[in-house]
C-alpha cells in the first residue's frame, strides 16, 4: 500500500492482517433506486427511466424504484414516468422524434475534451480546513491529482493506493482504515474534516463501508469524517457520487439554536449573486443569506446550521438537503433553475410562503412543513402543501406592510425589464442560429423554450437525457418546435459531430468532417486552422464563415443560414455553453456553467447581456473549454497572466529605450 499526502510524497506500507467482511450496499445502506446521466450531472431518476421492468434488487430486471429519490414528486404517489418512443441510434435526433426520458441508448461512450464543469474534487474544496483522501489505484487517481494541481490545491488532497495483493486477499477494509489513519497522522496540519472517498474496488470486493467509516470516526473523534464515493460504475444504478458527497458535506452541520433572520444555501457550486431575485426578496425582509463561499474557517461553515430555512438550486443536492432538514428539524426548499415567467413566479411565491413572518418565533418557516421540499410547480403540491398555500395571501400582505413592496408589482417590473433585455439582444444578433448545452443550463430545455418563445432561433440542444423536471418543457417543444434537434454529447457518433464544420474553423480538431475534395483542397493538404485570438470587438474573420451550402449526412444539399443582424456572416453560430461551442466549433459562445450561479429574471437578463458580449467578442475555444473547474483558481490562468505581465514589462522597457534614443537623436539634431 502507498499512502500519499500530496502529489510527490510516498510511503510504502504493507498491512499483514485480515478482517472478517460482510457484504452489503456500497454505502452501508439499502440499494438506492435512482439513476443519473452519463456524467453524473442529471438528477436522480427511476428504474422506469431505463425502460426496464421493476423487480427485486439483484434481479436481471433492474433495481427497485424508491419514491424518496425523486425530485419534485409528491410523496406517496405512484408517479411513474410515462415512457415514449425508442432511444435514437443516431447522435442527433429531432425533438419531435425523441424518446422520453431516455433519448439515446447507453452504450460505449465518447468523452469530449470539455472539462469546465465541476467534479467531486472541486465541490469538496469549498469547505475550508477540510482534507480530501482517496483510497484508489494510481491509474484512477491521476485525474484527481491533476484536478487539484490545476487549481493549485494539491496540499489539500491525499491518497491511499492498495496493492493488488491487498485488494484480492480480503484485507481491503483494514488497508483502507490504516492507510487513511496514516495519512491523517502525517499531515502537517490536522484537518477539521476529511472527505474520505471509497471507489469501485470497494464495490467489487464487497467491502463493508459502514465498518470502515465507523472505525475512522472512532479513531478521530475530533475530525468530521465525511463518507464519499468515487464510483462511476454505480452512475446509472444508484445515487451518483455527487449526490452522496453533497449529502455527507451537509450532514455535519449541527442543530444549532434557530436564527430567524438567516437562510443557508447549501449544495450549490456557484455563489448566488446579491442581485438575484431570491437575494433581493430575502434582504427586503431583513433575512441574511449564508453561503459556503463566504466561509473562511470550518467554524464558519458549521455556523450555517443555525438558519431556519435551507435552500438549494441544485437537483443533485435535494437528497442531502432533505436528510439534513429532517435531522435538524428545519425547512428545506428547492428552487429549480427555471426560465419561464410562470415557473419563476411560482417558485418565489412558494419561497415567500415558506419564509413566513421571520420576526415571529411561532411562525418559523411560515406555512411550510418542517423537512419538506417544495418545488416549482403547483401540480406537484401535496394536500398539506395546498392547505398551507391558503395562508400565502396573508403572508404577502404582511410582506407588503413590512417592506412596502408588492409581490405582484415586483413580478411585473421584472418581467418587463427581462422582455426589454431580450428585445435588445434580437436587434444585435438577428435570426442567428443558437446552440445550447446542459453544462451551461441544468435545465436546458426550459431555457431553450424561453428563448424560442422570445423569438430566437434555437436549432440544437446538446444533452443526453431528459430530467423528469423538464417533461412539461419537453412535451411543449415537441409540439411547438418539432424541428429543433437534440444532440448527444456522449454517443460514440458525437465524436464525428464534433469535427470542423467548415474550412478554417477555430482549431478544435485535426481534420474537417469533409474530404479534401469536398473542402476544395488538394488531397492531403489539410492545414491546421489558426486559433481565434481574443483581442476585443473584431470583424469576423473570413476563415470562420461557413459555405453557403454544405452537404448533409444524407447527401442532400442544405442552404447555409444567414442572420439578419448587420454584418452577420452566413453560418455564424452563437453557442450557449462550452459543450455547445465545442460541437458547433464556434468561437462565439457564452462561457457559462450552471447558469453562472444566477437564478430567475435577474439571471435571464445577465444571460441576455452575455449573449451580446459573446456575439461581438470571439474566444479561443480550444484554449478555454478544456480547462477544469470554471471560476476556480487556475495555475494555467496564473501562468498566462504572469507571461502577459512579463511581456508587457519587456515591451514597456523596449518602448522606453526607444523613446530615450529618439529624444537623444532629436537633441543631437537640434545642437
User: For residues 427-442, b (16+ Cβ closer than 10 Å) or e, as one string?
Assistant: ebbbebbbbbbbbbbb
The dihedral through the CA atoms of 626, 631, 633, 635 has a sign that is positive
**pLDDT at residue 420 in the model:** 97
> Residue 207: what pLDDT?
92
Cis geometry, peptide bond prior to residue 78 (ω within 30 degrees of 0): no
What is the predicted pLDDT for the residue at 656?
64
Strands 157-161 and 2-4: antiparallel
Helices (H), 481-585: 494-497, 578-584
Q: What is the pTM of this model?
A: 0.73
The confidence score (pLDDT) of residue 213 equals 97
Rounded Cα gap, residues 302 and 194, in angstroms: 14
Q: Backbone phi, then psi, for 72, in 5-degree steps? A: 70, 20
Q: What is the 3-state secondary structure (H, E, C) of 309-373?
A: EEEECCHHHHHHHHHHHHHHCCEEEECCCCCCHHHHHHHHHHHHHHHCCCCCHHHCCCCCCCCCE
Q: Which residues of the chain have pLDDT under 70?
A: 2-82, 357-405, 499-570, 644, 647, 649-671
Tens-place pLDDT, residues 315-335: 999 999 999 999 999 999 999
- How far, in Å, CA of 454 to CA of 334, rounded? 26
β-bridge partners, 161: 2
Predicted local confidence at residue 8, as pLDDT: 39
Count of helix runs (H) and strand runs (E) in the chain: 21, 19
Q: Give DSSP secondary structure letters for 102-147.
A: --S---SB---S---S--HHHHHTTSTTEEEEEE--HHHHHHHHHH
Q: Coil, strand, or helix at residue 289?
A: strand
Amino acid at each position: 500500500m502507498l499512502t500519499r499526502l500530496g502529489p510527490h510524497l510516498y510511503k510504502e506500507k504493507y498491512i499483514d492482517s485480515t478482517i472478517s467482511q460482510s457484504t452489503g450496499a456500497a454505502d452501508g445502506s439499502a440499494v438506492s433506486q435512482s439513476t443519473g446521466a452519463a456524467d453524473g450531472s442529471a438528477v436522480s431518476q427511476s428504474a422506469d427511466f431505463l425502460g426496464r421492468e421493476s423487480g427485486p434488487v439483484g434481479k436481471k430486471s433492474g433495481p427497485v424504484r424508491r419514491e424518496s429519490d425523486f425530485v419534485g414528486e409528491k410523496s406517496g404517489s405512484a408517479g411513474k414516468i410515462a415512457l415514449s418512443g425508442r432511444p435514437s441510434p443516431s447522435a442527433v435526433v429531432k425533438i419531435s422524434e425523441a424518446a422520453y426520458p431516455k433519448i439515446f441508448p447507453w452504450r460505449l461512450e465518447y468523452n469530449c475534451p470539455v472539462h469546465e464543469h465541476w467534479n467531486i474534487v472541486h465541490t469538496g474544496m469549498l469547505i475550508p480546513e477540510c482534507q480530501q483522501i482517496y483510497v484508489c489505484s494510481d491509474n484512477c487517481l491521476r485525474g484527481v491529482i491533476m484536478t487539484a494541481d490545476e487549481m493549485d490545491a494539491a496540499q489539500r488532497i491525499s491518497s491511499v493506493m492498495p496493492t493488488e495483493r491487498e485488494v484480492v486477499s480480503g484485507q481491503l477494509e483494514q488497508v483502507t482504515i490504516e492507510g487513511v489513519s496514516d495519512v491523517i497522522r502525517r499531515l502537517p496540519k490536522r484537518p477539521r474534516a476529511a472527505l474520505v472517498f471509497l471507489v469501485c474496488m470497494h464495490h467489487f470486493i464487497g467491502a463493508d463501508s459502514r465498518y470502515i467509516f465507523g472505525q475512522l470516526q472512532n479513531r478521530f473523534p475530533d475530525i468530521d469524517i465525511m463518507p464519499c464515493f468515487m464510483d462511476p460504475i454505480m452512475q446509472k444504478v444508484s445515487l451518483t457520487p455527487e449526490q452522496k458527497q453533497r449529502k455527507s458535506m451537509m450532514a455535519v452541520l449541527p442543530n444549532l439554536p434557530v436564527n430567524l433572520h438567516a437562510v443557508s444555501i447549501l449544495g450549490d457550486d456557484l455563489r448566488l449573486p446579491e442581485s438575484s431575485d431570491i437575494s433581493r426578496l430575502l434582504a427586503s425582509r431583513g433575512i441574511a443569506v449564508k453561503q459556503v463561499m463566504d466561509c473562511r474557517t470550518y467554524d464558519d461553515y458549521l455556523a450555517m446550521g443555525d438558519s431556519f430555512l435551507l435552500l438549494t438550486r441544485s437537483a443533485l443536492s435535494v437528497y442531502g438537503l432533505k436528510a439534513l432538514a429532517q435531522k435538524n428539524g428545519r425547512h428545506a426548499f428547492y428552487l429549480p433553475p427555471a426560465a419561464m415567467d410562470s415557473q419563476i413566479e411560482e417558485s418565489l411565491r412558494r419561497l415567500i410562503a415558506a419564509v413566513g413572518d421571520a420576526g415571529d418565533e411561532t411562525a418559523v418557516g411560515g406555512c411550510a412543513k418542517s423537512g419538506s421540499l417544495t418545488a416549482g410547480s403547483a401540480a406537484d403540491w401535496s394536500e398539506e402543501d395546498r392547505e398551507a398555500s391558503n395562508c400565502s395571501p396573508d403572508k404577502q400582505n404582511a410582506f407588503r406592510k413590512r417592506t412596502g413592496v408588492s409581490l405582484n408589482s415586483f413580478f411585473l417590473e421584472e418581467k418587463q425589464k427581462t422582455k426589454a433585455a431580450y428585445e435588445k439582444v434580437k436587434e444585435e444578433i438577428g435570426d442567428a442560429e443558437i446552440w445550447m448545452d446542459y453544462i451551461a443550463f441544468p435545465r436546458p430545455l426550459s431555457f431553450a423554450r424561453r428563448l424560442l418563445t422570445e423569438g430566437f432561433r434555437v436549432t440544437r440542444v446538446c444533452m443526453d437525457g431528459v430530467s423528469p423536471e423538464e417533461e412539461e418543457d419537453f412535451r411543449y417543444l415537441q409540439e411547438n418546435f418539432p424541428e429543433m434537434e437534440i444532440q448527444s454529447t456522449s454517443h460514440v457518433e458525437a465524436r464525428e459531430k464534433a469535427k470542423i464544420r467548415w474550412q478554417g474553423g477555430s482549431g478544435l480538431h485535426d481534420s474537417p468532417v469533409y474530404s479534401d475534395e469536398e473542402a476544395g483542397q488538394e488531397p492531403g493538404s489539410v492545414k491546421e486552422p489558426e486559433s481565434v485570438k481574443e483581442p476585443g470587438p473584431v470583424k469576423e474573420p473570413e476563415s470562420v464563415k461557413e459555405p453557403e451550402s454544405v452537404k448533409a449526412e444524407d447527401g442532400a444539399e442544405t442552404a447555409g443560414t444567414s442572420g439578419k443582424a448587420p454584418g452577420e456572416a452566413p453560418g455564424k453560430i452563437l453557442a450557449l455553453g462550452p459543450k455547445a461551442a465545442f460541437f458547433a466549433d464556434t468561437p462565439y459562445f457564452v462561457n457559462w456553467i450552471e447558469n453562472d450561479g444566477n437564478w430567475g429574471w435577474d439571471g435571464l437578463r445577465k444571460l441576455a447581456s452575455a449573449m451580446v458580449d459573446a456575439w461581438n467578442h470571439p474566444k479561443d475555444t480550444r484554449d478555454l473549454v478544456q480547462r477544469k473547474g470554471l471560476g476556480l483558481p487556475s495555475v494555467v490562468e496564473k501562468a498566462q497572466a504572469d507571461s502577459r505581465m512579463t511581456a508587457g514589462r519587456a515591451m514597456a522597457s523596449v518602448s522606453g529605450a526607444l523613446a530615450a534614443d529618439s529624444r537623444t537623436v532629436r537633441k543631437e539634431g537640434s545642437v
